[in-house]
Chain A
């Protein structure tokens, strides 16, 4: 009964920023072991891996990973600013900057793909 209203109670920019930071962190925690495993494999048979990694789908997935990394990094910087600098009512600005920088980084990465 309250699913919609539970969402409504949390539908504000700071909660979204928290969720993005948490989800990107969990996704990275899941990805990084796989990433290191693939690196270890690549050390054995690099050519095969490079062929695999240049498939379009894999490359776009990498852009997603760059976005996750950028979101988690800028989100972490936002939390540091929030907790260690005197409080200002710039919360939405900080969220917009961290989101905008993350998207920019991911787009630049995608430009580099082509």
Chain B
């Protein structure tokens, strides 16, 4: 899509809460425009009552995720020309989360699930006495490293069909976080965390569809993290754990 030959984007923007409708706007095309740029244009030049979230605009904060033409994406790093169908673009809030207004979701459930999955680091007794010695090439360290860069944008959660089918499912992001801590030698809550993620709504609910891995804007692999948790949970069961 070459934006130079287009004059305007035909934008459909979700307005309202759970009950709402798509409203149409026309936004002038610019070079290297992002989806977030277009939403911002609407808010600043057409209708100031449009609600949406963003902060850093450079793919660090994870606050600007939306559903763009049916696909969950971070909007600040998504060029509109790469995802528009012709000059048409539909922007909606993330799926599987309550809509507060327009493009703003209530992320509470999403982050509560991080807590439920044991997402908080629990230091081992004596951990403050000295630095932990963890070689950079240690297998557990590498596993944690591969999953640690999550920005909590909720794209994987919105893209996961299992979350849609079973709203109590902890979801890819929370389980991915748990996997980083399971691989953290300094953490002292390994058994409790495995018990927390091995329930009905935990890692075993995953069908390995791998939409999470497909859509993660940071190119993380939550599906691999969840598979890792499944192996740890099975091993704990084999050893006679919970």
Question: Is A84 part of the contact surface with B, judged by Cβ < 8 Å?
Answer: yes
What's the count of A-B pairs with C-beta under 8 Å? 55
Residues of A within 8 A of B72 (CB): 9
Residues of B within 8 A of A14 (CB): 208-210, 213-214, 223
How many Å from the CB of B237 to the closest CB on chain A? 13
Question: Is B69 part of the contact surface with A, judged by Cβ < 8 Å?
Answer: yes
Question: Is B215 part of the contact surface with A, judged by Cβ < 8 Å?
Answer: yes
Question: Is A18 part of the contact surface with B, judged by Cβ < 8 Å?
Answer: yes
Chain A, Cβ-Cβ closest to B72: A9
Identify which of residues 204-242 in chain B touch chain A, using a CB-to-CB cut-off of 8 Å: 207-211, 213-215, 221, 223-224, 227-228, 230-231, 234
How many Å from the CB of B88 to the closest CB on chain A? 10
Chain A, Cβ-Cβ closest to B158: A9
A87 touching B209 in the complex, CB below 8 Å, given contacts A2-B90, A5-B70: no
Alpha-carbon distance A10/B214, docked complex (angstroms): 9
Residues of A within 8 A of B224 (CB): 87
- Please count how many residues in chain B sit with their CB below 8 Å of the partner chain's CB atoms: 25
A9 touching B70 in the complex, CB below 8 Å, given contacts A15-B209, A15-B210, A18-B209: yes
- Please count how many residues in chain A sit with their CB below 8 Å of the partner chain's CB atoms: 19
A9 touching B90 in the complex, CB below 8 Å, given contacts A18-B209, A79-B208: no
| 13 sampled A-B residue pairs with Cβ under 8 A | A1-B12, A2-B70, A2-B90, A5-B69, A8-B69, A9-B70, A12-B214, A14-B209, A14-B223, A83-B208, A83-B230, A84-B230, A84-B234
**Interface residues, chain B, CB within 8 Å of chain A?**
12, 22, 69-72, 90, 159, 161, 207-211, 213-215, 221, 223-224, 227-228, 230-231, 234
**Interface residues, chain A, CB within 8 Å of chain B?**
1-2, 4-6, 8-10, 12, 14-15, 18, 79, 82-84, 86-87, 91
